[in-house]
Amino acid sequence: MTTDFSKNNPRILNAWTMYDWANSAFSLVIASAVFPGYSESVARTPDGSNIISFASFTLKNTVLFEYTASLAFLLIAFLSPFLSAIADYSGKKKGFMQFFCIMGSMACVMLFFFKDIQSLHWGILGYMLGLIGYAGSIVFNNSYMPDIATEDKFDALSAKAFARGYIGSVILLIFSLALIIFREKLGIQDATLAPRISFALTGIWWLGFAQYSFYFMPKNVYQKKAEGSWLLNGFKELNWVWKKLQTLPYLKRFLVAFFFYNMALQTVMYLATFFAKEEISLEQQSLIIVVLIIQLVAVAGSYFFSKISEKEGNTFSLRVAVGIWIIICIWAYFVKNEISFYALAGVVGLVMGGIQSLSRATYAKLMPQTTDTASFFSFYDATDKISTALGIFVYGMVHHLTGSMRNSVLALLLLFVVGLLILVFIPSKKTYQETFSL
């Protein structure tokens, strides 16, 4: 663990970006590429039907996992502000981050035991805990950015972290893909074993590489000493931050815009492969190719939009990205074949990296100078998770009621439009705090 702490310390900044390298493997292998197709294939009745029963509910297997993801994000959305306030008060931010990292990585290993409809409970529990661990650790990781870097570094630092996440996760995905494709040559007869090994490897990758970040990232940046009840003082901390937010008009406005466009964005990220499998009838290997295209293009996208932001300001760059997402939704509604879906995936990758990276950096710029960074970022992450949960729920509900994911895409289009309209009313400046009295 490093004790030589100063802002813009290259070793600490590098360690912070490496956590994206570690945890993005979950986002790609579990949440996006391998697990969705795998779960849809094995969570079936003995006669092959995808209409299954779970906890007295009868529904499509894909809808069940959509609702599971929605519940996981709702849970972390309500927990994170309280945990973050306690972490700020006690100076235990790093400890909370490690706890969620361990939970998520162990959940990935748990998925190894999900091999058929009889072991569906392992799939549901592992998927839910993995999402909670992933989302929970990001709350604290994001809040480190204003602690370790000056504002002029936010855009480039956030872009570098996302780029590393995309590259690292692609490496593990390619290894997992090779394991699945060449399983028979490797002597693996059970068709479910190779994907299940990839789930366990994802947990090992995540926890293993996270140790580099944990070793160098500072433990207690502001040397806070907790006295009295952590819970009581955590609530007081949260209440102070909430009152402070009421005096920050552009920050509040950004959170509302972020809520709407992120509701659609995260839904696309988590359910795109379900859409491709059901509406385009892509096979598992084709689905993974789609995800690879998105991830690789996203590396360039994160830097591309960072450069636009450098010249024109953050919210201008975000408006461009959200505008492209609206076009993507229209395109997705009409897409019919595999080739056009590959092209669509390329455009998705371009804006996916940019909008995620810029959103995090923009919020950090709009924040006031404070030592309560985890508490402030908990509102950003709570907005992120609540919007993600609602977006997935809306997508799943429209899918459930109409029987078509294409109709769900139209609902996402409306959310992007609302987000864009709100962004128009946030000035686009390179450095907000120098221009506005926040």
Domain count of the chain? 1
Decide the pairing of beta strands 51-54 and 57-60: antiparallel
Q: Where are the alpha helices (DSSP H) in 280-404?
A: 284-312, 314-334, 338-366, 373-402
Looking at residue 317, the DSSP 8-state letter turns out to be H
CA max distance for the chain: 65
User: What CATH number has the domain bearing residue 370?
Assistant: 1.20.1250.20
Q: Which residues contact 234 (CB under 8 A, 6 or more apart)?
A: 82, 83, 85, 86, 88, 89, 90
The series of mean pLDDT values per 10 residues for the chain, 438 residues long, is 70 96 93 85 90 86 85 83 74 89 97 95 96 90 89 89 91 91 92 95 98 91 58 64 83 93 85 77 76 83 88 91 94 88 88 88 86 78 83 84 86 94 84 43
Range of the domain at 188: 10-217+232-435
Quote the pLDDT of residue 9: 94
Structure tokens at 202: 């994802």
Q: What is the rounded CA–CA span in Å between residue 381 and residue 71? A: 15
Q: What is the rounded CA–CA span in Å between residue 252 and residue 366? A: 9
pLDDT in tens, 181-218: 899 999 999 999 999 999 999 999 999 999 999 999 98
CB 287 within 8 A of CB 273: yes
Q: Which has the closest alpha carbon to 393: 66, 12, 36, 94?
A: 66
| 207 burial type by CB count under 10 A (0-12 exposed, 13-18 middle, 19+ buried) | buried
Write the DSSP string, 164-222: HHHHHHHHHHHHHHHHHHTTTTTT---TTHHHHHHHHHHHHHHHHHHHHHHHHS-S-TT
Q: What is the rounded CA–CA span in Å between residue 140 and residue 233? A: 18
Quote the pLDDT of residue 331: 92
Residue 77's alpha-carbon distances to 31, 146, 355, 381, in angstroms, are 18, 21, 21, 7
Q: At what angle do helices 249-279 and 61-90 cross, to 10 degrees?
A: 150
Q: Report the DSSP beta bridge partners of residue 52.
A: 59
Q: What is the rounded CA–CA span in Å between residue 414 and residue 47? A: 39
Domain for residue 242, yes or no? yes
Q: Give the rounded distance of the alpha carbon of 96 from its chain centre.
A: 18
Q: What is the rounded CA–CA span in Å between residue 209 and residue 214? A: 9
H or E stretch at 158: helix 154-181
Quote the pLDDT of residue 56: 80
Q: Count Cα neighbours of 340 within 13 Å in the Cβ-side half-sphere.
A: 10
Write the DSSP string, 84-153: HHHHHHHT-HHHHHHHHHHHHHHHHHHGGG--SGGGHHHHHHHHHHHHHHHHHHHHHHHHTHHHHS-GGG
Domain for residue 333, yes or no? yes
Domain for residue 1, yes or no? no
Degrees to nearest 5, angle at CA 9 with 5 and 11: 100
Domain for residue 362, yes or no? yes
Q: What is the rounded CA–CA span in Å between residue 59 and residue 281? A: 20
Q: Determine phi and psi for 52, rounding to 5 degrees.
A: -125, 165
Quote the pLDDT of residue 1: 47
Residue 42's alpha-carbon distances to 37, 62, 235, 424, in angstroms, are 9, 11, 44, 45
Quote the pLDDT of residue 238: 66
